[in-house]
Structure 1
């Protein structure tokens, strides 16, 4: 969920059942979603993972684990 801009406070009454973003915003859920999306984008930088060139699921999973370890080790 995208946080509501502060300049759109008066328009909250028109949201909800009428459409648009829901008026509630969960900060913790947004932080977790952001972390997952960033992780996936970092993994996509590995060409073999992004293109899914491995034939076997075991080989793809091994490449995923290796890329995850190397990304984690850089931090």
Structure 2
């Protein structure tokens, strides 16, 4: 998604799925305190494994995540 598309989607109130650290950092600077979904891809594709479970993380805990 482009930066403008991210802004437009965020402004509709839809929770975004952030799938890269650079996008997360950029989004966090522009919209601090926003709720998001994070995708961790351990080489497992959604729908490929019955045990795949999405996780929602509080914005307060994002600062503790590191690659």
Give the TM-score band, short-chain normalised. under 0.3
Larger radius of gyration between Structure 1 and Structure 2: 1
User: Structure 1 or 2: larger helix share?
Assistant: 1
TM-score normalised by length of structure 2: 0.28
Higher relative contact order (CA 8 A, sep 6+): 2
